């Protein structure tokens, strides 16, 4: 990033091929070294004036995160999956995520979280009060045989552990219940394995099982 010949070439390509520059997003990996920050800024500013946009990838993975964020005109910040993958069950990750999102929002930049899995699993909205939704969720967790670690009704948060049939692995589950409006509540469920690179879909199946039970609860 910062090669003037490359900038010239990109401008020529956009012009000669009738490309909509607003559809182009250039990513800079946060761990990549930027030899000259001023040259890089000029490169980004030139393409930015053309309509192109920039994304800072792997934010938080290297040492230059906030320096790049301050000095380069990024439109998007892609938060490194290290802080996302275990955020449902790790307070430190959630705190870091919240801080990054708040800073980016204040700077007018959009954030993108990496390592977000199971996009088909969406929060469940029930036409009951938050109190009733919490009770349903807690009952469902116990009916599924999960071990309730904590249930904070005031905070609308349930933490549980499910032990797998094979090998007895411990998987963490976090349920959050929030009032959406009078008479309706939203339930978010996250599940994360403590060990292993791949859970072979067990966490997604666990979440779906709970949501299905909640949907059909009397």
* 69 falls within a domain: yes
CATH classification at residue 159: 3.30.310.80
Choice between 69 and 120, residue whose per-residue pLDDT is larger:
69
User: What's this model's pTM, rounded to 2 decimal places?
Assistant: 0.53
Domain total for the chain? Answer: 2
From the list 95, 94, 98, 73, the residue with the least C-alpha distance to 85 is 94
Q: Which pLDDT belongs to residue 217?
A: 79
Q: Which of residues 92, 113, 134 is at a domain's end?
A: 113
Look over the chain and give the mean of its residue pLDDT values, rounded to a whole number. Answer: 85
> Is residue 29 over pLDDT 90?
no
C-alpha 74/C-alpha 54 separation (Å) is: 5
Question: Count H helices, E strands: the chain?
Answer: 6, 9
Three-class SS string for 29-77? ECCCCCCCHHHHHHHHHHHHHHCCEEEEEEECCCCCHHHHHHHCCCCEE
Tell whether 97 and 136 lie within a shared domain.
Answer: no
Q: Which of residues 113, 142, 164 is at a domain's end?
A: 113
Q: Which pLDDT belongs to residue 200?
A: 60
- The overall longest dimension of the chain from CA atoms, in Å, is 67
Q: What is the pLDDT of residues 84-118, one digit of tens each?
A: 877 766 789 889 988 999 999 999 999 988 766 66
Q: Percent of the chain scored above 70 by pLDDT?
A: 88
From the list 23, 110, 16, 10, the residue with the least C-alpha distance to 2 is 10
Tell whether 8 and 92 lie within a shared domain.
Answer: yes
Owning domain of residue 90: 4-113
Choice between 202 and 68, residue whose per-residue pLDDT is larger:
68
Q: Residues 177-202: what's their mean pLDDT?
A: 80
> Is residue 197 over pLDDT 50?
no
Q: Which pLDDT belongs to residue 91?
A: 84
The CA-to-CA distance between both ends of the chain, in Å, stands at: 59
Choice between 29 and 152, residue whose per-residue pLDDT is larger:
152
Q: Percent of the chain scored above 90 by pLDDT?
A: 40
> Is residue 47 over pLDDT 50?
yes
Q: What is the pLDDT of residues 128-183, one digit of tens each?
A: 999 999 999 999 999 999 999 999 999 999 999 998 766 677 888 999 999 988 89
Tell whether 102 and 161 lie within a shared domain.
Answer: no
Lookup: tokens for 213: 């039970």
* 118 falls within a domain: no
Q: Which pLDDT belongs to residue 119?
A: 59
Q: Which pLDDT belongs to residue 118?
A: 60
> Exposed/middle/buried for 217, CB within 10 Å: 0-12, 13-18, 19+?
middle
């Amino acid at each position: 990033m910062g090669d003037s010949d490359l900038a010239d070439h990109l401008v020529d390509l956009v012009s000669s091929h009738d490309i909509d520059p607003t559809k182009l997003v250039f990513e800079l990996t946060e761990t990549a070294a930027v030899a000259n920050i001023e040259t890089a800024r000029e490169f980004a500013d030139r393409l930015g004036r053309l309509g192109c946009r920039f994304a800072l990838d792997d934010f938080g993975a290297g040492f230059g995160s906030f320096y790049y964020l301050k000095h380069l005109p990024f439109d998007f910040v892609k938060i490194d999956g290290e802080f996302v993958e275990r955020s449902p069950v790790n307070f430190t990750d959630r705190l870091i995520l919240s801080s990054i999102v708040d800073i980016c929002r204040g700077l007018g930049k959009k954030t993108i979280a990496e390592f977000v899995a199971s996009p088909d699993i969406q929060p469940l909205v029930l036409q009951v009060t938050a109190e009733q939704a919490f009770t349903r969720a807690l009952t469902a967790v116990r009916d599924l045989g999960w071990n309730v670690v904590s249930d904070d009704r005031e905070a609308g948060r349930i933490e549980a552990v499910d032990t797998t049939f094979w090998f007895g692995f411990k998987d963490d589950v976090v349920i959050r219940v929030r009032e959406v409006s009078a008479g309706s509540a939203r339930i978010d469920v996250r599940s994360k394995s403590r060990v292993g690179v791949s859970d072979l879909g067990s966490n997604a199946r666990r979440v779906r099982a709970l949501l299905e039970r909640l949907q059909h609860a009397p």
